[in-house]
Amino acid sequence: MKLWGGRFTKPTNELVDEYTSSIGFDQKLAQQDVKGSLAHVDMLAKCKIITDEDATVISKGLNIVSEKIQNKEAELSVDHEDIHMNIEKLLIEEVGAVGGKLHTGRSRNDQVALDMRLFLRESIVMLTELLVGVKEALVEQAEKHIDTLLPGYTHLQRAQPVRFAHHLLAYVFMFQRDVDRLMDSYKRVNQLPLGAGALAGTTFPIDRDYVANRLHFDGVCENSLDAVSDRDFVVEFLSNSSLISMHLSRLCEELVQWSSSEFNFIELDDAFSTGSSMMPQKKNPDVAELIRGKTGRIYGNLMSMLTTLKGLPLAYNKDMQEDKEGMFDTVDTLKGALSLFAPMISSMQVNKENMYKAVQQDFSNATDLADYLVQRDIPFREAHSIVGQIVLYCIKQNKFLLQLTLDEFQQFSDSINEDIYESLKPESVVNARNVKGATSEDRVREQLDYAYFYIDSN
């Protein structure tokens, strides 16, 4: 007999049970469900809706059920549809009919919303901690590579040299925003939906603030209809996760490029690479590739949640049961990626020499030659054109700027003097950019200080 079987005259079709049940995946919420029920039953007794004796029996029973589920001793069945009814059924088996008092003044609609929020609260804290670990790994590498220069790119064409620390710190700031976003979202997750009942509240004199307090919520959802139909907090989480994945994926793409023979800027540790079944020489950046690849499913989970919610009338609709798998999958996928990311970054070898060779063999100091002419009172547009011609000349001569003789330079402009050689060195080029946020040593150290400050304050 179903817990709601009273008004039915025949059993549900087996396929319907199978199709509509969520126990296959929402059993992940068992601990949250029990936690919520313990707070609820405690409140029912405090408000004299049930007796203290009944509350004690129910609480004890819930703890036993919880333990049995944890130890896989309890049978969870599609016949009881979801984790909420499975637990209620197990409770009644454990303590008898009095267990049926647990659901007084409550609906699965506010109950499931509560479980989701409890689950997400923990997940946000766990993922934030992992993200801080990723930031730490990046900052640690940045600290070691303040003087490591490499080409900075635009359009994947060499543009201007940067310090490797600067490049890594760019990601630190992205991940800092991700941490900020997660922490900010926490306060919207941390509102108690319980007490909204099925949609309209309850006739019992319950105390929602008491439950909120007991479960460490910041407050209660103000509107019962909103409380049971709101999954904004899930969408927000999936969206924040998508941004995190996007950032991870962009850095993974760079790691993949940098570890290719074409770049040869880094080498990922053997422990974070894999081989080929056929080609003995191969060492593949599979972890970075897979983190990049799994971004697809994280975006997919966001899209599917948004689409599921679109057009749902108030209040609860069964469609909303689809909120869970995507959220669980995103939490697990992101946890996996972040857990691997920090040690992969920490153990990566940086080929300083190759990076430096690259900045010596490009035209990433061309802007500096133009700026040099501007300092000698040539309008920038004119200077740009002169340098363009010099670059063209170099390409024909198969030379880089620093390989030109002073005579060659002076064929293009007599404003160029001996001091040009100092100005065009990669070290001078990065140090010449001394505005806030730029590549000079002082400015990169300043960024590092910010990064440390954020890590300390997280």
Between 99 and 193, CB nearer to ligand ARG: 193
Torsion region of 171: left, alpha or beta (phi above 0 gives left; psi -120 to 50 gives alpha)? alpha
Between 175 and 316, CB nearer to ligand ARG: 316
Residue 185 is a catalytic residue: no
Of the candidates 38, 114, 127, 320, which one interacts with ligand ARG according to CB under 6 A? Answer: 320
Residue 22 binds ligand ARG, judged by CB under 6 A? yes
Of the candidates 58, 62, 74, 112, which one interacts with ligand ARG according to CB under 6 A? Answer: 112
Stretch that binds ligand ARG, among 49-57, 184-192, 313-321, 366-374 (CB under 6 A): 313-321
Residue 26 binds ligand ARG, judged by CB under 6 A? yes
Between 87 and 420, CB nearer to ligand ARG: 87
Stretch that binds ligand ARG, among 285-293, 312-320, 334-342, 399-407 (CB under 6 A): 312-320
Stretch that binds ligand ARG, among 134-142, 241-249, 315-323, 390-398 (CB under 6 A): 315-323
Q: What are phi and psi of 348, to 5 degrees?
A: -70, 140
Give burial (CB, 10 Å; 0-12/13-18/19+) of 261.
Answer: exposed
Q: How many CB atoms lie within 10 A of CB 318?
A: 9
Tell me if 326 sits within 8 A of 304, measured CB to CB.
yes
**Least distance to ligand ARG from the beta carbon of 322, Å?**
8
Of the candidates 108, 145, 167, 247, which one interacts with ligand ARG according to CB under 6 A? Answer: 108
Between 86 and 176, CB nearer to ligand ARG: 86
Q: How many CB atoms lie within 10 A of CB 122?
A: 12
**Least distance to ligand ARG from the beta carbon of 317, Å?**
9
* Side chain identity, residue 87: I
Q: Which of 216, 260, 276, 339 is catalytic?
A: 276
Stretch that binds ligand ARG, among 37-45, 106-114, 169-177, 303-311 (CB under 6 A): 106-114
Residues in the chain, overall count: 458
Between 108 and 158, CB nearer to ligand ARG: 108
Q: Which residues fall within 8 angstroms of residue 211, CB to CB, at 6 or more apart?
A: 39, 40, 43, 192, 194, 195, 217
Stretch that binds ligand ARG, among 90-98, 107-115, 401-409, 419-427 (CB under 6 A): 107-115
Helices 108-144, 323-346: axis angle to 10 degrees equals 10
Residue 155 is a catalytic residue: yes
**Least distance to ligand ARG from the beta carbon of 301, Å?**
16
The secondary structure of 217-279 as a DSSP string is -SEE-S-HHHHHH--HHHHHHHHHHHHHHHHHHHHHHHHHHHTSTTT--EE--GGG-B--SS-
Interface size with ligand ARG, residues (CB under 6 A):
10
Of the candidates 321, 330, 364, 413, which one interacts with ligand ARG according to CB under 6 A? Answer: 321
Helix (H) or strand (E) holding 63: helix 52-70
Secondary structure (3-state) at 150: strand
Tokens 């984790």, residue?
Answer: 83
Between 26 and 54, CB nearer to ligand ARG: 26
The secondary structure of 398-458 as a DSSP string is T--GGGS-HHHHHHH-TT--TTHHHHTSHHHHHHH--STTSSSHHHHHHHHHHHHHHHHH-
Q: Which of 155, 261, 277, 457 is catalytic?
A: 155
Stretch that binds ligand ARG, among 151-159, 316-324, 337-345, 434-442 (CB under 6 A): 316-324
Of the candidates 109, 241, 333, 439, which one interacts with ligand ARG according to CB under 6 A? Answer: 109
Tokens describing residue 284: 């593949």
Per-residue contact string for residues 66-105; x = within reach of ligand ARG by CB under 6 A: ----------------x-----------------------
Per-residue contact string for residues 206-225; x = within reach of ligand ARG by CB under 6 A: --------------------
Q: How many CB atoms lie within 10 A of CB 6?
A: 7
**Least distance to ligand ARG from the beta carbon of 430, Å?**
55
Between 22 and 141, CB nearer to ligand ARG: 22
Tell me if 344 sits within 8 A of 287, measured CB to CB.
yes
* Side chain identity, residue 378: I
**Least distance to ligand ARG from the beta carbon of 51, Å?**
28
Rounded Cα–Cα distance for residues 433 and 247 (Å): 26
Question: Within 13 Å, how many C-alpha atoms sit on residue 343's CB side?
Answer: 10
Active site residues: 155, 276
Residues that bind ligand ARG (CB under 6 A): 22, 26, 82, 108-109, 112, 316, 318, 320-321
